[in-house]
Structure 1
Amino acid sequence: MEGKRVLVIGASSGIGAAIAKEASLDRAQVVVVARRYRKLLEEFTVNNGPLISMSAKPIEADVTVAEDMMDMAMEANEHLGGFDLVVYCAGFARLLRLRDIDLDTMSNWQELYGTNVVGANLATAAVLPYMNPDGAIAYLSSRTVDDRLALLAPYTASKAALDQCIRTWRVEEPDYRFIRVVMGWTAPTEVANRLGPLMGEAFGRWSEQGAPGGTIDTTDAAGALVRHFSVVLDHPKINFPEMNLDMRYSGTPASYWGEIAEMMQGE
């Protein structure tokens, strides 16, 4: 990744921050973007000061605001002189029952689609004029799209909508490469931490459904992704439409989610 111009959107924590750090350590030029500017500074200056010398420039922007995305893309382009790789990591998750229609639930639906779908498209439209045609734009999707897990439908539906947008970007902009990254559960990450008060119920239901359990270490996943992206950029004549990362389940008990649910009930 040495010398590659990398823009990571949604980099204030979790997998986004880990990807930015891995790319920086691999000598890429990196710009990190998030709504929470103070969190960006804490992540990349206070705890990881050396990254600043590796061009990890922070930019504050809200992915759901079109003007923010246009301004962000312009500022990042001024710093990097174009983009070889853009990784959209911004995400929101919340456990919700489909039958609940109170105001708080509706607000969560809007935030889910605003961040996971609308934001991804606003960001793509903003950065595309500055993209290297031999580069790539990658988006973090989710394995749970195919799992039909109780209480997770609003989140998985938003990721399914993101997947369809990625496919359509490929049709509408065939001169660029768009990568769908299908992720299993990762930890630690703030997305999982914000699932909300229904976690105990959800984990119990997932255990009953026989849902695969376990998580991927965030740093390990970021290292694998950055190495994959490096291969993508080194082979501009090859299309890499999808990448799948998930944990190996051979050592994970079938009762994984049920055991977590019992632990939460005991707290």
Structure 2
Amino acid sequence: MPELSELLYRIRHSLDTQVSMSRIRRQRTLEDAITGRRVLITGASSGIGRAAARQLGAAGATVLLVARREPELLDTAHEVEAAGGKAAIYPCDLNDFDALDAMIERVLTENGGVDLLVNNAGRSIRRKLDESYERFHDYERTMRLNYLAPVRLMLAVLPGMRERRDGQIVNILSAANLYRGPGYSAYVASKAALDSLGDSLQAETHTENVRFTSIYMPLVRTDMIAPNPLYADAAALTPQQGAQIIADAVIDRPRRLGPLLGRVSSLIDTALPERADALSSARFRTGM
């Protein structure tokens, strides 16, 4: 079934029709949702994080910017302020948990809390299984940044959110979590762990007006995908389009947001796992 294989491949580039329909039905604007709120964005020095900071800041949020590179964070803050927003920078290497803990303590002390946490920072590694036997550290370092660092941030901001009975955690995952990502096993597994954690914590906070939103982000043209020649000519969103997906998540507070065909792929995986395995394998062998 090559047609189905091609269809499933394209889900990484497709936007969710749910977003368009929600925009038609919605009763509030981004400004209504975000004005006066404190928004912590990781990976805010470039790409999706930088674009999201500009958009949310311009809409009235106080954006708290986290990334390793201080000069780029300053540039982001200046862009936010030029658009009329408020920004503060918190340079931090999230791989360093002592530095992370000190940073988030400072954020909470200086700002009185965080109303919205966007776990956007991440590391992607493409490496086949037969190239990974002696590279356990790839899995370890990917899990450290993509899963354990967000866990530490969530555990720090959630007590305040629960006490105020208001808050949102937005976890930036990958469309590959819906259609699989052979060759990216460390990356996809780390994002899947974050997704599963959101499921568990949402159940515990369901009655407290704390929302966990999983965004299964399609391919976005950022520095993270630049080293992969397979993506040089691939269809991809711009960082601004990725930021708009985050804005939609802030306005509508959905539990999950991602490509419609990705959800179809996930259903196929549940109903016909062996067929899904074969399609995923065929895509991997052909370099798709």
Please tell me the TM-score bracket, short chain as reference: 0.7 to 0.9
Q: What's the offset of the Cα at 1:102? A: 6.3
Q: 170-179 or 1-10, which moves further after superposition?
A: 170-179
Residues 6, 28 of structure 1: 8 Å contact kept? yes
CA distance in 1, matches of 2:115, 2:56: 12
TM-score, normalised to structure 2, is 0.69
Matched, 1:219 2:240: yes
Pairwise mapping of residues 152-231 of structure 1 onto structure 2 (< 5 A)? 152-174=184-206, 175=208, 176-187=210-221, 189-193=222-226, 196=227, 199-200=228-229, 214-231=235-252
Which residue matches 1:11? 44
Say which of 43, 47, 50 aligns to 2:76: 43
- For the aligned residue pairs, the C-alpha RMSD in angstroms reads 2.8
Distance 2:49 2:260 in 1: 17
Q: Matches of residues 224-239 of structure 1 in structure 2 within 5 Å?
A: 224-232=245-253
Higher percent of residues as strand: 1
Equivalent pairs, count: 226
d(CA) in 2 for partners of 1:99, 1:117: 24
Identity %: 25
Q: Determine if contact 2:108/2:114 at 8 Å carries over to the other structure.
A: yes
Matches of 2:241 and 2:67 in 1, distance apart?
A: 22
| Match 2:255 to one of 234, 237, 241 | 241
For structure 1, which runs of at least 5 residues remain unmatched after alignment?
A: 205-212, 233-239, 248-256, 262-267
Greater RCO (Cα-Cα under 8 Å, separation 6 or more): 2
CA distance in 1, matches of 2:76, 2:89: 10
Distance in 2 separating the partners of 1:51 and 1:75: 25
Give the equivalent residue in structure 1 for 2:109: 78
For the residue of structure 1 that corresponds to 2:45, the secondary structure is: coil
Letter in 2 for 1:124: M
Task: Look up the match of 1:126.
Answer: 156
Q: Which runs of 5+ in 2 are unaligned?
A: 1-33, 262-282
Name the aligned partner's letter for residue 126 of structure 1. Answer: A
Structure 1 or 2: more helix by fraction: 2
Q: Which residue of 2 aligns with 1:235?
A: none
Contact 1:182 1:245 (C-alpha < 8 Å) held by counterparts: yes
Q: Single out whichever of 116-125 and 68-77 deviates more from structure 2.
A: 68-77
Corresponding residue for residue 28 of structure 1: 61
1:49, 1:243 → 2: CA distance?
26
Paired residues of 1:2 and 1:28 also in contact (CA < 8 A): yes
Task: Please say if residues 213 and 255 of structure 2, whose CA atoms lie closer than 8 Å, have aligned partners that are also in contact.
Answer: yes
Q: Which amino acid aligns with 2:89?
A: P
2:71 counterpart letter in structure 1: R
- Distance of 2:141 and 2:203 partners within structure 1: 27
